[in-house]
Structure 1
């Protein structure tokens, strides 16, 4: 199974004897997935996932990471490409993990939530179609990195496996990350997380910032305001440590083009915002937000490191939290941050359980079991190597 985008391929065609409705699954290049049914599925999906919005996914596939491209497993109702039941971008295990094994991995650039889009009225059938589609592509295992471990999507996958007599999915790399889902008074919420003393200190720093000039919190949410705001974000990110390490979005022309196009595409449908904290008209902190179906993803943050004395990133996050609290259309915000993040974990108190779902595609399959063991061993080895490098670096710094 090559990681290279391939021509449309019919993987399964299931009829009424196996499922309650006829449906079929295709493996398509993401760039060729039809937009109208895809957008419709995203708007009604069992659980939303802004990373799988067509504006984000197609721009990422075409431009990010040197425009490598990727495919998607797509389930449709009936023989045509009408109502879409499921969507999941995938690459081979070799492309994702450098493992030469028959597995597919849900992966696309800059994506840290891989729970698939599923039709809520036929969620178990949709989840089953993805499992059958992966099997039809020759995969013995379907891997969903950073998938929600609890909720209706995880339940639908579990039920689809049970109906096929397949062992439950195994979980690797399970952890929790910060989220915001409060319905109470936002200032009380912030005090509860940060503590009254820390919140008072942030107010003091905000007054210090105001002593230096005019401070404004703004949100760009229309294409005409989003485009220049994205450029300011890219410049700000490039000016910091990500720019020095060459990992900022602006460091690669394709990555910058990806976020520009995704922002405009999603922004035209109310699905993208750029929040900014400005001092005398200059952006000192900025955040990118993906929105849709009542939920949001705090996708990226950048701040002026020379202004660290007033904690611009924290100040921005506080303002964004207040805005989320006032937005009747948003009920849940995923921080997309690493577990134990030193900043967001002390502001947002809810937690989202995520991990890598390792899903067999056949009943009693020893090949799938062997791949699971290999993937888990690979992660352990990588973690041990990182720990060793960190230990050696710390020892070197102590000698200096």
Structure 2
């Protein structure tokens, strides 16, 4: 087995990433689409740590049609033929970063969280099996992008690695906003925004009401979310995302994915679309995923003709109260950029998120090479990434 896959090998792997082969003689992984949806769903119900973006109804829809996100492989762990105990949707390092080195990288689920699913009752057994399968596939490392750093999933990986004389390497980390939904919603808003800011937002809401009674709606069923999704897509495309060409509805593959995923998750109670209307006019809408005790604030669309009334903020205030009143939800992940100017002042909790390199062999020089290549790439790309995030955040705020 070659220690480092040559460029032609990795290019072949990237063209058929269902195999996710990272070394010439590595065993192919199962295509993600080949995983039993029933087993995957059962694993998600037992997951040690929630991740709405790796629910089967969501990730299989992403894998089937979303732009640039198809053809993932399944790094999976089974207790027996009928019990899936661990799953990481994966792609090659070449496809993820255009770096021809033998590593498997968590597949982008069209959401900024790639924490793998582990069976809570046998998390360490699942980790051991995942690491072994990755080695058999020819990988020298796993790379988790945008994963939770302080949850039970990372703890299980850390504990297994420590027993083998290794440790995970955090490549980059940040914190992002989250909501403690176990608290009273109004109290959360008072503590985060203060009396003066809330008074100003009430004034804006009263001004918005001059266009018609302001109403907060929650679409829950497949039929309701199907209708509400079209409203969301229109709102998102009407604003700066539409001008930039990145709104979901502007790409056929992305539109197909979201139209498949939303009603499918609504059917299991794992997706809601919330909206704010002034009379009969929708002024803001957002997609919210739900997995066990956690919710995920996926995307927000607003009618920018009403920008002076802060429709996105107004919707987020109502969403805060809505989720705090839900006994099934304890935490809400904003899944936003770390410096997001709208959500950070409202949701003052913070989640530690980062990219993590998991070595598969002790004292492996290839792992050092992988780490160095990623560090060099980050040095080159990070200033541009920060600028893009800053511009996007300012556009969302305005």
For 1:358-369, list aligned pairs within 5 A: 358-369=357-368
CA distance in 2, matches of 1:107, 1:262: 17
The answer on whether the counterparts of 2:184 and 2:321 sit within 8 Å (CA) in structure 1 is no
Aligned length: 376
1:76 corresponds to which of 55, 75, 78: 78
Matches of 1:45 and 1:108, distance apart in 2: 19
How big is the shift at 1:108?
2.5
The 2-side partners of 1:105 and 1:390 are apart by 23
More deviation in 237-246 or 2-11?
Answer: 2-11
Q: Structure 1 residue 59 and structure 2 residue 61: aligned?
A: yes
Q: 1:99 to 1:210 in 2, by over 3 A?
A: same
Name which of structure 1's ranges 346-355 and 107-116 shifts more when overlaid on structure 2: 107-116
Once the 2 structures are TM-superposed, how far is the Cα of residue 68 of structure 1 from its aligned partner?
3.1
Q: How does 1:157-306 map to 2 (within 5 A)?
A: 157-165=157-165, 167-306=166-305
User: Shift of residue 326 of structure 1?
Assistant: 0.5
2:156 is aligned to 156
Shift of 1:163: 2.4
Q: Secondary structure at 1:346's aligned position in 2?
A: coil
Distance 1:210 1:149, change over 3 A: same
SS of the counterpart of 1:234?
helix
* Aligned residue number for residue 349 of structure 1: 348
CA–CA separation in structure 1 for the residues paired with 2:18 and 2:345 = 47
Deviations 1:128-187 (A, max 9, x none): 22222211111111000111111211110001112233x211112200000011433321
Match status 1:132 vs 2:132 = yes
Distance, in Å, in 2 between the alignment partners of 1:325 and 1:332 is 9
Q: Structure 2-normalised TM-score?
A: 0.90
Cα pair distance change 1:390/1:286, threshold 3 Å: closer
Question: Which residue is 1:96 aligned to?
Answer: 96
Structure 1 residues without counterparts, runs of 5 or longer: 12-24, 394-400
Assess, with a 3 A threshold, how the Cα gap between structure 1 residues 52 and 240 changes in structure 2: closer, same or farther. same
- Tell whether the 8 Å contact from 1:284 to 1:307 is kept in structure 2 after alignment: yes
| Distance (Å, rounded) in 1 between the aligned partners of 2:29 and 2:218 | 38
For residue 3 of structure 1, the aligned residue among 4, 14, 28 is 14
TM-score, normalising length: structure 1 = 0.89
Q: Does the aligned pair in 1 maintain the 2:21–2:138 contact within 8 Å?
A: no
Q: SS where residue 190 of structure 2 aligns?
A: helix
2:181–2:323: 8 Å Cα contact kept in structure 1?
Answer: no
**Counterpart in the other structure of 2:114:** 114
Cα separation, 1, equivalents of 2:369 and 2:342:
39
User: Residue 375 of structure 2 corresponds to which residue in structure 1?
Assistant: 376
CA contact (8 A) 2:111 2:298 kept: no
By how many angstroms is 1:342 displaced?
A: 0.2
Mapped to 1, the partners of 2:246 and 2:18 lie a distance apart of: 32
Residue 213 of structure 1: how far off its partner (Å)? 0.9
Deviations 1:276-310 (A, max 9, x none): 00112221101101112111110111111111110
Question: Does the CA contact (< 8 Å) of 2:219 and 2:273 recur in 1?
Answer: yes
Contact kept, 8 Å, 2:123 with 2:156, in 1: the verdict is: yes
CA contact (8 A) 2:124 2:156 kept: yes
Distance in 1, Cα, partners of 2:34 & 2:17: 10
Report the Cα offset of residue 67 of structure 1.
Answer: 6.3
Q: Deviations over 1:298-324 (max 9, x none)?
A: 011111111111000000000000000
Query: Distance in 1 between the 2:220 and 2:386 partners?
Result: 41
The gaps in structure 2 that reach 5 residues or longer are 1-11, 392-398
Following superposition, the deviation at residue 7 of structure 1 comes to: 6.6
In structure 1, what is the Cα distance between the partners aligned to 2:187 and 2:119? Answer: 37
CA contact (8 A) 1:10 1:26 kept: yes
State the match for 1:146 in structure 2: 146
Q: CA deviation at 1:211?
A: 1.8
